[in-house]
Amino acid sequence: MNANVTVPQNGKPHLLTARRLGIQTIQEAQIFMRKDCHVCKSEGFATHARVLVAHEDRTIVANLYQVTSELVGIDEVGFSESAWQKLGLKDLDKVTISHPPPLESLSAVRGKVYGRNLDFESLSQIVSDIAAGRYSNIQLSAFITACAAKPLDHDEICALTRAMVETGDRIDWNRKPIVDKHCVGGLPGNRTTPIVVAIVAACGLTIPKTSSRAITSPAGTADTMETMAPIDLDIPNMRRVVEQEGGCIVWGGAARLSPTDDMLIQVEHVLDLDGEGQLVASILSKKIAAGATHLLLDLPVGATAKVRSKQAADTLSRSLIAVGEAFGLTVRTVMTDGMQPVGRGIGPALEAMNVLDVLQTKPAAPQDLRERSLLLAGQILELGGAASEGHGLSLAIETLDSGRAWRKFQRICEAQGGMRTPRVAAHHRSVTASGAGLVAHLDNRRLAKVAKLAGAPEDKAAGLELHVSLGERVAARQPLYTIHADSPGELSYALAYARANADIIGLVEP
């Protein structure tokens, strides 16, 4: 008798009818059953029990919530959206609910809490259990916290990286080098990627860039890029674009590269906590799975950026290079200024407009975005062998200023499905300086919050446009930034927050 299948005395499993409740849970699968239903009673299930849900040949592990109302019928099981989709259900499908096998890998997590190192076998089991949805959010939180409290050593980071790579798909490009870039989070508006990819691909290197959508920020590179071209390309289409143009800028979520990474990030964001080892494994596993051979990492350093000191950047940098080496991936890191946003726009369309201005070499283009893109592109050109050491930057400048990068960008957009023009929001309002002064600091995190309250990234045109930068002298009532929103309500809410947080842009006596 199989202890994992509900078998009552007559020997047939209890079948219950699936009902779609349309509840969004991001990733955690949830089901809803009547407290007085015969399965809850006979299986001894209580609220928060982890249960195995089976439909035909698919199974998932879900969190059970008991219901004491008519929300679901006595012979029904209500499903959250993620649970419904993972099981591939249709209305009136029949499912069985039973006890899941014990989550053995949790004992390795407990071991880590008490100071035992994790070996590849344990990490592999933890990661595949996470990928299969067998960890609840409470358990994911314990894993993340344990790895931050008892930092992963080099061997553990390599093992975690390998486990994360092996859980998902991998892309083989059948050529070398494959260059790639990544920016270690936290800086609003730092949208160098489309510019860098255009320059690098125009110089003949292969740069198949996958980017993410925003999780807690007002725009991810994928959100920004989507205002200029389609980004939901599957791997065959991505391959077609890259073979044709040498580069692409697509959303990584369509490919299944290191799928556990996103699941961990969701919980890390709630805690505002990510251990260095997990950060390294997170970054490198995606790049290794995407087939990169040479990777440039942009590490913005600043008080309100993700990496807060040069010392933290050095330690992180050493770990990234050493772990990359273990996988045959050449990693180079560049520390950049993380004291203030890059460019003027914060929000998908507003950032895209800055990108287009730089690519089109308009005089009004934000110089900081131009310079940082050129710096990064120059480094990649050297790393990938398109320029000798010390000559990358001049090649990058030449490629941008000659219009070759802009033409390459347009061709990439066309290959991805057609170029688009970023939209301008319907409502704008400026936030002004209360008095005269010098701009002494900008709070990246709270600026991001204003942009999000205005509707970014869901409303592509929403966000804010900065008018000042560090060290600039401003007069009283001079506009500091302008909020863009698609509805008066969002504009009003962002404005209320901005006014209640007048020190987001800090002014001092000149």
**Positive/negative CA dihedral, 221, 226, 232, 233:** negative
Angstrom distance (rounded) from CA 184 to CA 88 = 36
142 with 230: CB under 8 angstroms?
no
**What is the Cα–Cα distance from 358 to 339, expressed in whole angstroms?**
21
Peptide bond into 188 cis (omega under 30): no
CB-CB contact of 370 with 358 (8 Å): yes
| Nearest-5° Cα angle at 470, 491 to 431 | 20
Structure tokens at 387: 């320029």
Binding segment for a copy of itself among 6-14, 161-169, 369-377, 392-400 (CB under 8 A)?
A: 6-14
> Six-digit token pair at 97?
């609910």
Minimum gap (Å) between residue 496 Cβ and a copy of itself: 5
* Beta carbons within 8 Å of 353's beta carbon, 6+ residues apart: 345, 422
Q: Which stretch binds a copy of itself (CB under 8 A): 167-175, 234-242, 396-404, 497-505?
A: 497-505
Query: Half-sphere exposure of residue 115, counting CA atoms within 13 Å on the CB side?
Result: 0
Q: Per rule CB under 8 A, is residue 101 in the interface with a copy of itself? A: no
Interatomic CA distance for residues 79 and 87, integer angstroms: 10
Closest approach, Cβ 371 to a copy of itself, in A, equals 32
Within 213-272, which residues bind a copy of itself (CB under 8 A)? Answer: 266-267, 270-272
Of the candidates 129, 274, 357, 368, the residue annotated as catalytic is 274
- Cβ closer to a copy of itself: 67 or 413? 67
Binding mask 42-71 for a copy of itself (x = CB under 8 A): xxx--xx----------------xxxxxxx
CA distance 469 to 492: 24
- If one asks whether residue 490 binds a copy of itself (CB under 8 A), the answer comes out as yes
> For 294, phi and psi rounded to 5 degrees?
-135, 125
- Residue 430 interacts with a copy of itself (CB under 8 A): yes or no: no
Other residues' Cβ atoms within 10 Å of the Cβ of residue 433: 19
Site track for a copy of itself across 172-211, x = CB under 8 A: ----------------------------------------
The H-or-E segment that residue 92 falls in is none
Shortest Å, Cβ 29 to a copy of itself: 13
Q: Residues in the chain, how many?
A: 510
> Taking CB under 8 A as the rule, does residue 487 contact a copy of itself?
yes
Q: Is 274 a catalytic residue?
A: yes
Which residues from 437-466 bind a copy of itself, rule CB under 8 A?
A: 452-453, 455, 458
Residue 92 sits in the site that holds a copy of itself (CB under 8 A): no
Residues 115-144 vs a copy of itself: string with x where CB under 8 A? x--------------------xxxxxxx-x
Residue 149 binds to a copy of itself (criterion: CB under 8 A)? yes
Q: Which residues are catalytic?
A: 274
Enumerate binding residues for a copy of itself (CB under 8 A). 1, 3, 7-9, 20-26, 32, 35, 38, 41-44, 47-48, 65-71, 80-81, 106, 110, 112-115, 136-142, 144-146, 148-150, 266-267, 270-273, 452-453, 455, 458, 487-490, 492-493, 496-497, 499-500
